[in-house]
Structure 1
Amino acid sequence: MTLSRTMPDGRWRRIARVVLAAAYAFAGVAHLARPGGFVAITPEWVPMPELVVALTGMAEIAGAAGLMLPPLRKAAGMGLALYALCVWPANFHHALSDIPLSGVHLSWWYHGPRLALQPVIIWWALWASGAIDWPFARRS
């Protein structure tokens, strides 16, 4: 049984989409309400980090909303996947520069899984939005 053939927008995909949309909405609001930590981990080569953090927060909120609107769903999933890829350098910068957040240095118990799971988040956005069916598509 494959999810894509028997349940093109099945229960698991809907759950994954709602959870992802909630996570991105929460993160987007956090970017706008408390930008300091996000600005702190922004690499030096990024111009106007305060503006970039605000724009990324708005992008997360827009992507979360788009996931819930069928006509925008696939585009939102592709946008959120691209977004997750583009912010990955900030996650590496945060880890490798050992930047404290609110005075707290986070260990590799935090950074390691966060960095390793970024490709999963990229896949999740694509699969939950229906942009891809992999690995659940039936092979011909």
Structure 2
Amino acid sequence: MMKLPENFKWLYGKDTKWVQTIFRILLGAALLFAGISHLTFNRAEFVAQVPNWVPLSTDLVVILSGIAEIILGFSLIALYKWKALVGLAIAIFFVLIFPGNISQYVNEVDAFGLNTDQSRLIRLFFQPVLVVWTLWSTGAFKAVMNRKK
């Protein structure tokens, strides 16, 4: 297995509590499910959510983000030793896809059962929850805070 240089060992993350492990695995399973749904039964819903300003084909964006979610979900479950690094990558991913949620709200796009302004607005508040969930369940918060120790 590839080893990190000594000054990046903090990215491995330390042992996490059993509850964090359960939440990490649940998040990984959710990402796997979401990624598979990008490529299959929810494809049209995801296409509708891609902002107009993205310079790529909406279908390509959905395919690439679906593949990314599958890889990240699998990594979250299988790459235990690298969980803090994977957690940071997923947190960044969640931040990068947030404009799609904003676009859905601003452009009043009905998708995923979000067919009112209120439901689309409420959804915006769940993206930060996903970021915090990711960083906590992977031990990335702790790894970043203790990286100099």
TM-score, normalised with respect to structure 1: 0.81
Count of equivalent residues = 128
Partner of residue 108, structure 2: 98
Alpha-carbon displacement from aligned partner over 1:37-92 (angstroms, at most 9, x marks no partner) = 11111111112221111111111111111112223322221111111101111101
The alignment status of 1:43 with 2:84, answered yes or no, reads no
Structure number with higher helix proportion: 2
Structure 1 counterpart of 2:139, from 130, 133, 140:
130
Amino acid at match of 1:70: Y
Q: Report if the CA contact (8 A) 1:20-1:125 is conserved.
A: yes
Structure 1 unaligned residues grouped into runs of 5+: 1-6
Alignment RMSD (CA, Å):
2.2
The alignment status of 1:16 with 2:23, answered yes or no, reads yes
Partner of residue 79, structure 1: 89
Amino acid at match of 2:18: R
How many Å apart are 1:112 and its aligned residue? 2.4
Partner SS for 1:90: helix
Partner SS for 2:66: helix
TM-score, normalised with respect to structure 2: 0.77
Runs of 4+ in 1 over 2 A off after TM superposition: none
Structure 2 unaligned residues grouped into runs of 5+: 1-13
